[in-house]
Amino acid sequence: MASLNTVKIFSGSQSRYLAEKIARYYGKDLGGYTLRHFADGEMSPSFEESVRGCDVFLIQSTMPPADNLMELLLMVDAARRASAHYVTVVIPYFGYARQDRKDKPRVAIAAKLVANMLAAAGVNRLMTIDLHAGQIQGFFDFPVDHLEGTSVFVPYIQSLQLDNLVIASPDVGGAARARNFAKYFNAEIVLCDKHRKRANEIASMQVIGDVEGANVVLIDDLIDTGGTLCKAAQIILDRGAKSVRAVCTHPVMSGAAHENIYNSVLEELVVSDTIPMRQPNDKIRVLTVAELFAKAIGRIRDHESISSLFINNQ
């Protein structure tokens, strides 16, 4: 019989590659979990060991397909019905976060809907990294541990020892993210002001700031098709930059993204493993966030602050 408040870590079917590393850094094996499917595709998850009285951590990114989110909700429900003491969902990539407000009439606010579904399923706590907008934390009525990719990316950029470093945001909305990154290097920031006709299609873009002779690092929370990032990199290089590279936490990599990155002027694209890379790309470097999540799980278990995991508090 499981002892009270024992920590158990489980992985959804699509995030096992990352969950295994998180569990290894934490010092435990993943818990037994099975996902069965009916003939019509309907999912039926089950835990293969007791979770009664345990603090359960369920790891699953909600990248496409949408079944990943449904599986996570079913896992939460199964854990609650099996009398888990506390259920924390670890969602390295929180999907639907780009739909966080009504930017035109008659559209959904999907990020809030997902928050409501997680609450209805019985989630006690959420752990994630680099939400599309930090304000999304306010959609939840339970604690949110919002980790920062800077803990992984800043040491890597430091190791490159780039002179005349300038941090750039591929859009005005990411200015705060770029400024947060730049402060670790005491670097200047520049902004790319873009105008879209429709999703994933840029009508125009201009650079605000001086990049002449600089080694520029573009910062964003995710890369989807890569169109914005590649266009921004080209314009920055055309403005006289010495080199351009990019850091994006979540490699969504839809459509022709791999081809776009490979054919771009980017020196490299640095991403994390919140979403698995489905195909190799010589220009993409993947850094793991597994140890960061494992440390956060340990601090939650011990009721300690996780602020020490942020670079600005180290």
By annotation, the residues acting in catalysis are 194
- Residue 148's nearest CA partner among 312, 273, 305, 9 is 312
CB 178 within 8 A of CB 168: yes
Distance CA 226, CA 222 (A): 9
Neighbour tally for 229: CB within 10 Å: 26
Neighbour tally for 263: CB within 10 Å: 12
**Start-to-end Cα distance in the chain:** 40
CB 85 within 8 A of CB 5: yes
- Residue 58's nearest CA partner among 70, 45, 72 is 72
**Element holding 146 (H helix, E strand):** strand 144-147
Angle (CA) 51 56 58, round 5°: 120
Phi, psi of 183 (to 5 degrees): -65, -25
- Phi-psi label, residue 130: left if phi above 0, alpha if psi -120 to 50, beta otherwise: left
Q: Quickly tell me which residue has 């979990």 as its tokens.
A: 33
CB 89 within 8 A of CB 43: no
- Residue 229's nearest CA partner among 213, 205, 209 is 205
Distances (CA, A) of 248 to 152, 167, 185, 221, 286: 11, 13, 18, 5, 10
- What are 171's two structure tokens? 């859009």
